[in-house]
Amino acid sequence: MVFITGETLQVYFLGTAGALPTPFRNPPCFMIRRGSDTLLFDCGEGAQQQMMRARTGFTVDAIFITHWHADHFLGVIGLIQTLSFNGRKDPLPVYGPRWVHEFVNGLVQLCRFNVKFSLNAEELVHGSVVRFDGYSVKAFSTDHGLESLGYALVEDERPGRFDREQAIVLGVNPGPLFGRLQRGEAVTVTKDGAQVVVQPGQVMGPPRPGRCVVYTGDTRPVIRGISSVTEYADLVIHDATYDESETEKAREVFHSTSGEAGDVARALSAGTLALVHISSRYTGTANHIRDAAKRFCGKVIAPDDLDMLEIPFRG
Ligand SMILES: [Zn+2]
Ligand SMILES: [Zn+2]
């Protein structure tokens, strides 16, 4: 029997600090591994050492930057140098909002080492879709006082459930024909001495949504913007610079409180909410988690640097 298995989907929290690093938290950097693809979302200072500590290696297939505040991009320069040292030849796409071309051009001019591979800058706007094999990264506008984007990694739909018993009733013997039906092909079988064609629709349930990870970058809550690119999320990684004692401050500086992050996670029927970009003023995250949990009944976490989360399929 052929089983259709899904790709692994893992999120490495390499940097969970707010604007300033602390002895325990690095500036923002999130690595998402899907199957053999590795994508980096923001790349703060010190990202390379975090990759070493998390033992992820440096192989990166694309970098997505949310905005041009230095805590989100300073790690790119060192990473490029290392990839060059290591003899990388493949082009590296760098996606980001307006000024991504200036950033990449400036970086290449500034660096007196030879970048031995091409850095391909690509500017994204709200609604831009970057296609990968089996999934897309969709950009949405955020609200941070300058041009900024968040990203949703959205997998393609999965085939529906295969009804084994029904297939047998229709005369299909367990074996290679099951696999062909699961891949969407019609098969011909002999039943009661007659040739019968069995269509995939007779034995497959409706397609099921793939998994989705949303990363907001720095922002006020933008439920409508996110909802225009995805209606649901398995994991929401949200700006939670402040807890609820600082709602005014959060509004002033275009960040979110953990309670506001909870509102977004609830609107997206998220499985898990990860609170990140924690301000250096806090020594613990218990209040952040408490405040988010008041407004969102799914799982709330405030990951430590180097934590890794595996995202399972829903049902
Ligand atoms: Zn920031
Ligand atoms: Zn910022």
pLDDT tens digit sequence for 144-195: 999 999 999 999 998 889 999 999 999 999 999 999 999 889 999 998 889 9
Query: How far is the CA of 302 from the CAs of 50, 65, 254, 272, in angstroms?
Result: 17, 21, 20, 11
User: What is the 315 CA–ligand 1 centroid distance (Å)?
Assistant: 35
User: What is the 55 CA–ligand 1 centroid distance (Å)?
Assistant: 24
User: What is the 156 CA–ligand 1 centroid distance (Å)?
Assistant: 30
pLDDT at 3: 40
Per-residue tokens: 256: 């979110």
Q: Identify the nearest ligand to the CA of 42 by its number.
A: 1
Per-residue tokens: 100: 């991504």
Q: Identify the nearest ligand to the CA of 239 by its number.
A: 1
Q: Identify the nearest ligand to the CA of 26 by its number.
A: 1
Catalytic residue among 37, 42, 61, 71: 71
Cα separation, 242 vs 201, whole angstroms: 50
User: What is the 268 CA–ligand 2 centroid distance (Å)?
Assistant: 23
Using the structure block, give the residue that is written with the tokens 């930057």.
65
Cα separation, 46 vs 18, whole angstroms: 14
Cα separation, 283 vs 60, whole angstroms: 32
Beta strands in the chain, from DSSP E residues, in sequence order: 9-15, 29-34, 37-43, 62-64, 92-96, 119-123, 129-132, 135-141, 149-155, 187-191, 194-198, 212-215, 235-239, 272-276, 299-301, 308-310
With contact defined as beta carbons under 8 Å apart, do 26 and 50 qualify?
A: yes
Phi then psi for residue 291, to 5 deg, are: -65, -40
Which residues have C-beta within 8 Å of that of residue 124, sequence separation ≥ 6? 95, 96, 97, 100, 130, 139, 149
Query: Please, what are the averages of pLDDT over each run of 10 residues along the chain (315 residues)?
Result: 66 96 97 97 97 96 98 96 93 98 92 84 98 97 98 94 94 93 92 92 92 98 97 98 97 98 98 98 96 98 98 85
pLDDT at 203: 95
User: What is the 226 CA–ligand 2 centroid distance (Å)?
Assistant: 18
Cα separation, 241 vs 58, whole angstroms: 28
> Residue 54 burial by CB count (10 A; 0-12/13-18/19+): exposed, middle or buried?
middle
User: What is the 145 CA–ligand 1 centroid distance (Å)?
Assistant: 12
Amino acid at 134: G
Per-residue tokens: 230: 């995805």
Q: Is 71 an active-site residue?
A: yes
Q: Identify the nearest ligand to the CA of 280 by its number.
A: 1
User: What is the 6 CA–ligand 1 centroid distance (Å)?
Assistant: 33
pLDDT at 315: 67
pLDDT at 191: 87
With contact defined as beta carbons under 8 Å apart, do 310 and 274 qualify?
A: no
User: What is the 72 CA–ligand 1 centroid distance (Å)?
Assistant: 6
Query: How far is the CA of 50 from the CAs of 15, 28, 45, in angstroms?
Result: 8, 11, 10
Cα separation, 156 vs 131, whole angstroms: 10
